[in-house]
Amino acid sequence: MKQFLSNSVANTLGQPVGPPLPAWSPPPRPNRETIRGNYCRLEPLSAERHAADLFAANSLDADGSGWTYLAIGPFTTLEDYRRWVEQVETSDDPLFFAIVDLETGEAVGVATYMRIDQMNGAIEVGNIRYSPKLQQTIAATEAMYLMMKHAFVLGYRRYEWKCDSHNAPSRKAAERLGFTFEGLFRQAVVYKGRNRDTTWFSIIDSEWPVLQRAYEAWLAPANFDAEGRQLERLPDLIAAARKRG
């Protein structure tokens, strides 16, 4: 547990307390705006613009296993999926984005900002649904980088990732992206008629500059060969960046 304790100072009673934040002010809420990258862009989710693309892309997940650890889905018809998008597209928290592949112009995934806590400067990325068209692509990583960068630029201090403790792919993704494991919240959620123990991860603002350098090195065109294969792995770049400090 010691590794998670912040630096402390003594108060007037001689007790250890957290360091003061004299310049702290709550950041603004993220807006419904487009966030642009080199491989993808994130657009505010819209039934009119995105539902058909997303339903078609998700339908490539033939057995529906991509929905197992989400509170929603699977959707069997476009009409059902469109109705769900219409219900959530105006939500402020979670704030839904469609991930659009710049090469094809198609919406191929969804992610949200959620549990937006301005007073404490904490924000979570969640409701991530990557279709087979987005999985294991450069755009898949860039989308997470763009959301993370936008949150820290807005002034958030803490960026969270949470998942079902049984969701091994999500845990692996969080570790690959440089999140720090914080613990297990037992019996935290009931969904789809079953229990969920929730695994917590985070990145804090003091860690972001190092991670940003690693992300940008990984996303650089020079890191990929003519077939689009990575030359250096993101975890290796993160480890090297952390070592340099």
Residues 33-244: name the CATH superfamily.
Answer: Gcn5-related N-acetyltransferase (GNAT) (3.40.630.30)
For residues 123-129, average pLDDT: 98
The pLDDT tens digits of the residues spanning 93-120 come to 999 999 999 999 999 999 999 999 999 9
Q: Tell whether the model's pLDDT for residue 5 goes beyond 70.
A: no
User: Which residues on adjacent β-strands are paired with residue 160?
Assistant: 124, 202
- Check residue 1 and give its pLDDT: 43
Q: Give CA–CA dist 19/63, Å, rounded.
A: 50
> Each residue of 172-196: pLDDT tens digit?
999 999 999 999 999 999 999 999 9
Closest-CA residue to 244 (of 219, 217, 204): 217
pLDDT tens-place string over residues 39-66: 999 999 999 999 999 999 999 999 999 9
Split at pLDDT 50, 70, 90, the class of 4 is: low
| Residue 40: strand, helix, or coil | strand
Q: Percent helix, strand and coil across the chain, each rounded to 5?
A: 35, 30, 35
Question: Is the Cβ–Cβ distance between 199 and 171 less than 8 Å?
Answer: yes
Nearest CA-CA partner of 198 in 141, 115, 121:
115
